[in-house]
């Protein structure tokens, strides 16, 4: 079933800056969906709009809709959305630095009906067990990300939004994290919507992917389809079409129209 | 020895009041300068309940405590939640204005006479010997209350789920909200606790020395104690209160009684010059403002 | 397009540049000069209080509204000016043309002292340090009173006694203050203040000496305030430490907040508001028939009402009276449109 449906979403900052224009995407229950794109594409804004935490940046959903389990949730107060079962792991400031790992997990408020024990989190992220009583500020990047995801899981969400999953993480750590996420998806029945800049990571982890650019979805499909797409290969995976040696000037002047939605 | 007793009692007064300053600052980053008035409100609350429940002093005391906590929560819900997100100056001024409003209202409702709630409660302020010094029953109650309150607060903030959530909300309000913590609830709780502890201090001082308008100044003098210790540290509040109380009592005794009102502020200045974030405060506090 | 163009550099610097503005200003000046001859004694006294208060309010507005340095020590600076005047008068029978500059000098040096914490502290901590200094100044004043036996206060002989005389003196002083402030704000110093209010780091990167800007703001503000304190001492004829309480500081802070931060007009409007406030409350009480019942606690009514009004302004109209005035002005200027276009 479709858990989350975003339909022709438009998000405007300060009443004048349109950051997201006409985004349509779907997240099926039990899947891992990736939202790809470079900086400034509007991915974080989309996530924030879904989670409800956009008001403080003076942003609003001005058109379109976000539907969760059939219920419209755009422009709703964030605590309502959290209680419906959507949790977000933000890009920055994702843990409480002066609290211990244990306390970080305790701080999360489980939504009504969901009960989570810390042991479940420690099961999925065994690296955190050693650091139980350590202040979160002293953790490494990978451990921090694990803690952030674990704390979000303590809220018992049905849909977990993760902003910039792999930012700052070493490839090996990312592999371990990817494995953990798949296990979480399988065992805890948690659906994941990931925002990623790193196309390799995203396509390796997800069941379905959307590519965003300048506030619009320009391409979507399964990882295989996306990997095969010429433009993705060119601009996101660094694999050129092999015709000749390109330099940056060439690409700019070439002005090749991107064959989106082919 | 008598000096030590006096220091202990004064330090307890300051420590109880500082609880409020630290709690509100730590949890909601607002400096509440209305605390002296909240303290007095607690004392007047006791006076009111003592008159109401004349024959049952214990009920009067409990009712007064509940009343104080409720007023704190009401203050947050009526005023302070609107100031969340506003500039520092605006929030502080709002608390100052609130203090002025409360002081005027208290005079209008209760008049300007000195009251003696202890008498109304039917208890006497016996004098208890300690070594070769004496301490009043109210003073002893103050010390015990401070110990109980601080012990309770430490246990709450570090041992219970909601205490951890309060600390979390103080560090990263947005992240706490994203983890499902209701920020308004946490702030209201902080204000309620602050009003409760401040009110307790007010009640006990009123029992000791009588209830009159000059009580508010004590609230203002306790403020340097909180700053000296570090605005976001309860342990610091305890230590700061001891330091300020000791300095005050000793200087009054050995130098000049008129110094009592100004000593805390001189200490405050000295601390700000040397170590602005206090003895136990976290350093970032300075830049965050 | 308004049809108004500036064609010379002098036009840029001029305080009044259009003929309509000059006409309105002339009208205002004429009205203000005629005022003491047509108004009753109460209104004249109120006007005097407003003029006196506005000097201190402008001082505070320059410091907090423009330079962004929060100061809660205003009453202490007023007290410094007043006590300097009182002490010089009592000890040396000094005349006014001596006490005034002396107060200014004391104010300037105290301003340096009050401003020193601002080099290290910001916002809340700065406000607290100024508060502490305020208490110390008041304490010293009280000490002088008790040591020298003036337990109820120092009595001063004023060189002027007629309200009209005072009106023109204070009018002159206030006009000089406002002119001084306007010129400072248009100069390099004023721009430096605005810069450090906005972003200190950027100001420093632009080559502005942040310590110098901060200290100059404090020194200018305290000099003005101390002078106001000196005039206050002569006007009241009486100096005592109790008059300079924290409540006085709050009243001045209320003046600039209710008036509207960052605007000299706001300082004046705020002063008018705060000075008239007790009288309005009196009138309201008389209207409601509560005068006799509450006569003994009139000050408490004032207190509560003042606190309430401050809260209302902070919550609902943070830009103060000037904000209200600008909104009204805009409504009339822009009608039938509602908003200014985005592009200039």
Boundaries of domain holding B57? 15-215
Looking at the domain assignment, is residue B245 inside a domain? no
Contact B101 C303 (CB under 8 A): yes
- Window 8-37 of C, Cβ < 8 Å to B: none
Residue B135 has a CB neighbour count (10 Å cut-off) of 20
Contact C124 B105 (CB under 8 A): no
- The helix (H) or strand (E) run that includes residue A81 is helix A78-84
**Minimal CA separation from A109 to chain B, in Å:** 5
Percent of chain C with pLDDT over 90: 29
Contact B261 C135 (CB under 8 A): yes
Total structural domains within chain B: 1
Does one domain contain both C273 and C158?
A: no
Domains in chain A: ranges and CATH: 2-95+157-222 (3.40.50.300), 229-262 (no CATH)
* Chain A contact set for B174 (CB, 8 A): 53, 56, 90, 93
Looking at the domain assignment, is residue B113 inside a domain? yes
**Minimal CA separation from C84 to chain B, in Å:** 20
Flag whether pLDDT at B159 surpasses 50: yes
Global pTM exceeds 0.95: no
Residue A214 has a CB neighbour count (10 Å cut-off) of 14
Looking at the domain assignment, is residue C343 inside a domain? yes
pLDDT in tens, B187-228: 999 999 999 999 999 888 888 777 777 788 888 888 899 989
pLDDT-based confidence at B284, cuts 50/70/90? low
Calculate the CA dihedral of residues B98, B101, B102, B106 and round it to 10 degrees: 180
State the Cα–Cα distance between residues C224 and C58, nearest whole angstrom.
8
Contact A56 B174 (CB under 8 A): yes
**Minimal CA separation from B114 to chain C, in Å:** 15
- Across the beta sheet with A71-72, the strand order is A17-28, A2-13, A59-68, A71-72
pLDDT in tens, C127-156: 888 988 998 998 888 888 888 777 777 777
- pLDDT computed for residue A253 by the predictor: 39
When CB atoms are compared, the residue of A53, A93, A111 closest to B180 is: A111
Flag whether pLDDT at B128 surpasses 50: yes
Does one domain contain both C174 and C321?
A: no
Residue with the two structure tokens 């005027």? B104
Question: What 3 state SS string does C158-213 have?
Answer: CCCCCHHHHHHHHHHHHHHHHHHHHHHHHCHHHHHHHHHHHCHHHHHHCCCCHHHH
Looking at the domain assignment, is residue B73 inside a domain? yes
Looking at the domain assignment, is residue B190 inside a domain? yes
Examine the fold and report which residue of C225, C243, C261 is the final residue of a domain before the chain moves on: C243
Q: Does B182 touch chain A (CB under 8 A)?
A: yes
* Chain B contact set for A106 (CB, 8 A): 161, 164-165
Does one domain contain both C164 and C282?
A: no
Examine the fold and report which residue of C243, C266, C293 is the final residue of a domain before the chain moves on: C243
pLDDT in tens, C25-53: 889 889 888 888 888 888 888 999 999 99
Does one domain contain both C260 and C234?
A: no
B partners (3+ CB pairs within 8 A) are A, C
Looking at the domain assignment, is residue B175 inside a domain? yes
Examine the fold and report which residue of C187, C219, C243 is the final residue of a domain before the chain moves on: C243
Does one domain contain both C251 and C263?
A: yes
Contact B168 A78 (CB under 8 A): no
Chain centroid to Cα B101, Å, comes to 18
Does one domain contain both C185 and C279?
A: no
Angle at B98 between CA B92 and CA B100, to 5 degrees: 110
- pLDDT computed for residue C252 by the predictor: 93
Q: What sign does the dihedral C236-C241-C246-C247 (CA atoms) show? A: negative
**Minimal CA separation from A93 to chain B, in Å:** 7
State the Cα–Cα distance between residues C263 and C284, nearest whole angstrom.
30
Contact B94 C294 (CB under 8 A): no
Does one domain contain both C220 and C323?
A: no
Does one domain contain both C88 and C164?
A: yes
ipTM of the complex: 0.84
Non-local (6+) Cβ contacts of B43 within 8 A are: B117, B199, B202, B203, B205, B206, B211, B215
Non-local (6+) Cβ contacts of A14 within 8 A are: A58, A59
Does one domain contain both C233 and C303?
A: no
Boundaries of domain holding C46? 39-243
Chain centroid to Cα B164, Å, comes to 22
pLDDT in tens, B36-75: 899 988 888 888 888 777 677 788 888 888 989 999 999 8
Does one domain contain both C176 and C300?
A: no
Looking at the domain assignment, is residue B226 inside a domain? no
- pLDDT computed for residue A255 by the predictor: 39
Looking at the domain assignment, is residue C293 inside a domain? yes
pLDDT in tens, C290-338: 776 767 777 888 888 999 999 998 888 888 888 888 888 888 888 777 7
Flag whether pLDDT at A254 surpasses 50: no
User: Chain A residues with CB-CB distance to B under 8 A?
Assistant: 51, 53, 56, 78-79, 82-83, 87-88, 90, 93-99, 103-104, 106-111, 151-152, 154-155
Total structural domains within chain C: 2
Does one domain contain both C228 and C274?
A: no
| Mutation site, C68, C74, C125, C198, interface B, largest B CB count within 10 A | C125
**Minimal CA separation from B249 to chain A, in Å:** 36
Does one domain contain both C211 and C253?
A: no
């Amino acid at each position: 079933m479709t858990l989350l449906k975003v339909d022709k979403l438009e998000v405007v900052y300060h009443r004048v800056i349109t950051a997201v224009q006409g985004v349509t995407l779907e997240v099926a229950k039990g899947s891992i969906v990736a939202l790809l794109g470079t900086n400034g594409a509007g991915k974080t804004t989309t996530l924030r709009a879904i989670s409800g935490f956009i008001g403080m940046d003076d942003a609003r959903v001005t058109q379109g809709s976000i539907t969760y389990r059939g219920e419209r949730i755009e422009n709703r107060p964030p605590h309502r959305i959290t209680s419906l079962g959507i949790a977000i792991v933000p890009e920055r400031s994702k843990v409480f630095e002066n609290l211990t790992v244990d306390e970080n997990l305790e701080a999360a408020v489980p939504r009504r009906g969901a009960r989570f024990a810390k042991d479940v989190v420690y099961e999925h992220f065994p690296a955190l067990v050693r650091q139980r009583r350590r202040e979160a500020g002293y953790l490494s990047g990978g451990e921090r990300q694990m803690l952030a995801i674990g704390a979000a899981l303590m809220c018992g969400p049905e849909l977990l939004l993760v902003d910039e999953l792999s930012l700052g993480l070493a490839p090996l750590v990312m592999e371990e994290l990817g494995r953990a996420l798949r296990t979480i998806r399988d065992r805890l029945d948690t659906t994941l919507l990931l925002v990623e800049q790193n196309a390799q990571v995203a396509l390796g982890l997800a069941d379905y992917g959307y590519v965003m650019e300048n506030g619009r979805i320009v391409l979507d499909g399964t990882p295989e389809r996306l990997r095969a797409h010429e433009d993705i290969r060119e601009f996101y995976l660094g694999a050129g079409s092999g015709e000749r040696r390109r330099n940056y000037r060439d690409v700019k002047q070439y002005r090749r129209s991107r064959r989106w939605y082919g | 020895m008598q000096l030590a007793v006096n220091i202990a009692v004064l330090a307890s007064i300051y420590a109880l009041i500082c609880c409020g300053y630290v709690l509100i600052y730590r949890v909601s980053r607002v400096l509440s300068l209305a605390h002296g008035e909240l303290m007095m409100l607690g004392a007047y609350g006791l006076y009111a309940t003592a008159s109401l429940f004349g024959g049952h002093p214990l009920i009067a005391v409990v009712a007064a405590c509940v009343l104080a906590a409720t007023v704190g929560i009401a203050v947050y819900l009526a005023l302070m939640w609107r100031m969340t997100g506003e500039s520092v100056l605006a929030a502080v001024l709002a608390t100052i204005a609130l203090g002025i409003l409360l002081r005027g209202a208290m005079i209008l409702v209760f008049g300007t006479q000195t009251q003696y709630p202890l008498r109304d409660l039917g208890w006497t302020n016996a004098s208890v010997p300690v070594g070769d010094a004496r301490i009043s029953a109210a003073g002893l109650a103050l010390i015990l209350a401070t110990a109980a309150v601080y012990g309770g607060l430490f246990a709450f903030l570090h041992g219970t789920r909601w205490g951890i959530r309060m600390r979390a909300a103080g560090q990263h309000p947005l992240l706490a909200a994203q983890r499902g913590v209701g920020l308004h609830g946490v702030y209201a709780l902080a204000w309620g606790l602050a009003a409760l502890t401040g009110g307790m201090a007010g009640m006990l001082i009123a029992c000791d020395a009588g209830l009159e308008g000059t009580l508010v100044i004590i609230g203002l003098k306790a403020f340097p104690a909180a700053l000296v210790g570090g605005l976001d540290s309860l342990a610091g509040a305890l230590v700061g209160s001891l330091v300020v109380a000791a300095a005050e009592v000793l200087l009054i005794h050995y130098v000049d009684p008129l110094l009592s009102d100004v000593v805390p502020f001189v200490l405050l200045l000295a601390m700000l010059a040397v170590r602005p974030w206090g003895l136990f405060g976290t350093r970032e506090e300075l830049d965050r403002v | 397009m308004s049809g108004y163009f500036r064609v010379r550099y002098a036009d840029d610097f001029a305080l009044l540049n259009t003929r309509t503005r000059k006409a309105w200003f002339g009208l205002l000046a004429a009205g203000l000069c005629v005022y003491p001859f047509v108004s009753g004694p109460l209104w004249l006294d109120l006007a005097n209080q407003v003029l006196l208060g506005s000097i201190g309010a402008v001082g505070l507005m320059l410091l907090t509204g423009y330079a962004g340095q929060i100061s809660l020590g205003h009453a202490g600076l007023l007290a410094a000016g007043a006590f300097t005047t009182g002490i010089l008068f009592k000890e040396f029978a000094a005349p006014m043309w001596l006490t005034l500059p002396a107060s200014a000098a004391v104010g300037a040096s105290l301003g340096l002292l009050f401003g020193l914490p601002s080099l290290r502290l910001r916002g809340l901590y700065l406000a607290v340090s100024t508060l502490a200094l305020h208490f110390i100044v008041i304490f010293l004043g009280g000490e002088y009173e008790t040591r020298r036996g003036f337990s109820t206060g120092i009595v001063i002989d004023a060189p002027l006694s007629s309200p009209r005389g005072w009106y023109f003196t204070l009018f002159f002083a206030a006009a000089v203050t406002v002119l001084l402030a306007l010129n400072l704000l248009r100069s390099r110093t004023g721009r430096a203040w605005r810069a450090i209010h906005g972003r200190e780091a950027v100001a420093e990167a632009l080559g502005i000496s942040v310590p110098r800007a901060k200290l100059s703001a404090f020194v200018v503000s305290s000099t003005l305030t101390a002078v106001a304190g000196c005039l206050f001492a002569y006007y009241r004829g009486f100096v005592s430490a109790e008059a300079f309480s924290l409540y006085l500081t709050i009243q001045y802070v209320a003046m600039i907040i209710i008036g509207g931060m960052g605007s000299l007009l706001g300082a004046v409007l705020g002063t008018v508001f705060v000075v008239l406030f007790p009288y309005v409350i009196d009138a309201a009480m008389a209207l409601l028939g509560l005068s006799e019942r509450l006569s003994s606690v009139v000050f408490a009514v004032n207190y509560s009402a003042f606190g309430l009004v401050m809260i209302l302004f902070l919550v609902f109209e943070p830009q103060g009276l000037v904000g209200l005035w600008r909104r009204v002005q805009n409504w009339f200027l822009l009608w039938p449109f509602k908003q200014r276009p985005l592009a200039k």
